[in-house]
Amino acid sequence: MKITELQTRRDNLGSIAAVARDVAVGDGEVLLRIDRFALTANNVTYAAHGVDMGYWQFFPADQGAGIVPVWGFATVVESRAEGVSEGARYYGYWPMASHALLLPARVSPRGFSDAAAHRLPLPPVYNNYVAASPDYGPEPIQALFRPLYTTSFVLDVMLAEHPVDTLVLTSASSKTALGLAQAAKNRQRVIGLTSAANREFVVGTGYYDDVLSYDDIATLGDMAGRFALVDFSGNGAVRHAIHATLGDRLVESHVVGDTHWDTANTASLPGVQAQLFFAPSVIVERIAQWGAEGFEIRLAAAWRRFIASTGWLRVVEASGAEAVAAHWQALAGGKVDPAQGLVLTV
């Protein structure tokens, strides 16, 4: 069967092309049609860290290219794996493509793991596929927020262990930042930093106690108390300015994303050392602490509270390789309306 993959140049993330290739389903394998997936700033982070964090390794591509991983839903169209039926639908981590070929292991009614040899050394949280369920809300909302909100949730849990007076979030319009802001708001003051163009949107979500543009970082210096920074932008100049402004009042600094993938990030930071936040490792720690069921119960409760608050979201759906490529180029170039939720099909 011929499938279509969208492959991005590793040295130029805005360069993307549709590549057709033939696949055959071997013993123990399944072929799934990718029905819909979300495209967000989180996917740009995957591409920006494709090499150093291994994201390019999940779905091998041609030399010098990479296939951006995406989250969404797919249907089994051919199965040679026991326990996985044709027509079954799964939520999980897919290539930006029309189809995915997987090797299921540990199959249960709940789902399975991909046991392909090249994925075994990679974080297991990305290799798990779960049976599609309406319990998590409409599929477009799940595709857009479910993986991102898990990061928001574990960030909030971590920050709650050592609460501060003020939490500062950069790239405040990003979906992971919005999830964290909504969860953390009633615990301390939450300030969002965003571009001047996005400020009105961020204010309108109601998740932040105050919203500043990046030009207003100096005003943080007039505020009292202890601060924590969660940087979703990956912009070294912004991070340095916040550290310099807050000085020793900044007691925590966490780096989560690199949506500004083309910005040099070599600034020497004053004050507290910035820590790279890697969600899969923290998820594993929490599951060890609470058990898998305890983790899911806590996450599901927080998730329901969040999706009930997303009336500001405008879902935009599109299909076809050309349309997906165009949306990716706009996203990589920072030209997407933050109120939009892109849900796409190759």
Better-predicted residue by pLDDT, 319 or 267: 319
Which residue spans within the chain are E strands per DSSP? 2-9, 12-22, 30-39, 65-66, 69-79, 89-95, 99-102, 104-108, 111-114, 128-131, 166-169, 189-194, 210-213, 227-231, 250-255, 275-276, 314-319, 340-345
Check residue 212 and give its pLDDT.
Answer: 97
Question: Both ends of the chain: CA-CA distance in Å?
Answer: 16
Tens of pLDDT along 169-212? Answer: 999 998 899 999 999 988 999 999 999 999 999 999 999 999 99
Is residue 289 in a domain? Answer: no
Q: How many domains does the chain have?
A: 2
Is residue 309 in a domain? Answer: no
Check residue 261 and give its pLDDT.
Answer: 44
Is residue 287 in a domain? Answer: no
Is residue 51 in a domain? Answer: yes
The pTM is what? 0.81
Q: By percentage, how much of the chain surpasses pLDDT 70?
A: 97
Query: Within this chain, do residues 125 and 155 fall inside the same structural domain, yes or no?
Result: no
Query: Within this chain, do residues 39 and 159 fall inside the same structural domain, yes or no?
Result: no
Which residue spans within 10-160 are E strands per DSSP? 12-22, 30-39, 65-66, 69-79, 89-95, 99-102, 104-108, 111-114, 128-131
Check residue 152 and give its pLDDT.
Answer: 96
Is residue 267 in a domain? Answer: yes
Structure tokens that stand for 32 in this block: 């799934």
CA 127 vs. chain centroid, Å, equals 15
End-of-domain residue from the set 255, 280, 305: 280
